Structure 1
Amino acid sequence: MIHSVLVFNNYGKPRLTKFYTHYSEEKQYQILSDVFKAVTQKSSDNCNFIEKSNFLGDDFKIMYRHFTTLYFVFCCDPAESELAILDLIQVFVEALDKCFKNVCELDLIFHVDRAHYVLNEIVMGGVVLETNITEVLARYEDQMQAELLENRITPVINMPSIPASLTNRLPSLKDFKMPEIPYTVRDIGGL
């Protein structure tokens, strides 16, 4: 099972976090801090996974990939295959790259909802759902189309007009008088 997906920059600032196991907020910050320290202390010549026994009370395997300024980290239980998770990270990054047309750190900051949507198409509840990039991109495009349709303002068609007999009874807006608003506390009378 995948316990969490973490994306942070070279300075340890989280850009995308998703926890599939419930942890308190303090423990989440502790996990982020410890994972960042463990990942950045490794040499780039070493392998991309770390076996952490008794990591905050749980057994974790940390699998990660470093792309330019971002670390993509999956924290999993020991039963997960390291190579499969590294391949899953590659699928996630390629899907983000195609969705954002050359993804960068700013895309994850300003479009975190879209990044989470892509992640939710790949992993849900800590279980891998889809690894086919074509399917992930098709579902992403469907979501973007649905958002466009939802945000589109549709004109009102066949709206009944107000009869002339009623418009004569309505007061004119230019004759509408606003109440006087006091400018200071002294203008409020009685004070």
Structure 2
Amino acid sequence: MRCIQLFFDGACEPVNPGGIGTYGFAAFDGGREIYGEGGVVCFGERWCTNNYAEYAGLVKALEWALAGGFDCVSVFGDSQLVVRQMLGLYAVRAPNLRPLYERAVELSRGFRRFSISWVPRGENSRADFYSKRAYCDFLKSRPDLRERYGKWLATERQLELLRRLGVEAECLSKAEASRLIKSRRRIPRS
């Protein structure tokens, strides 16, 4: 039996709901990353949320694993909502999530062995990387969206401060930029 580990993630940036919804997933075999991908699943719609993007990441990961002929997967995500819904601990009430949930359940039945578990955000860094890269690449390719989401994106002053701190951060929200600036300023300089 071929067993792999799948890590999935999703984000809706720079505002949730209604931002740019992206997914990411990474596949590991014996601790070695064998595949990773990210993409955009929605933007601008009220139903476009981080939970929708998280489910999209799970569905994309399961589709990839089935297409690759894997029959045993251990799935990990940092979304307690998605994991608990998949485990049957929470009901799926949001109409925008129901089709994705049903697709994920259907896909999960295609494996001989399937498990899903929650992990802290820090243990989901590769899936997060693919999700964030998809967001930033999409934002860069669509100048009209920089204007549309401008009030939530980092200001020019914040971007300049981050550049001085050695951080390239053109796609960050104002809140993320502020947190990063504060955390970097606390680091003693040698």
Q: Could you state the TM-score of these two structures normalised by the residue count of structure 2? A: 0.25
Q: Which has the larger radius of gyration?
A: 1
Q: Quick one: higher RCO (CA 8 Å, sep 6+), 1 or 2?
A: 2
Q: TM-score, normalised by structure 1?
A: 0.25
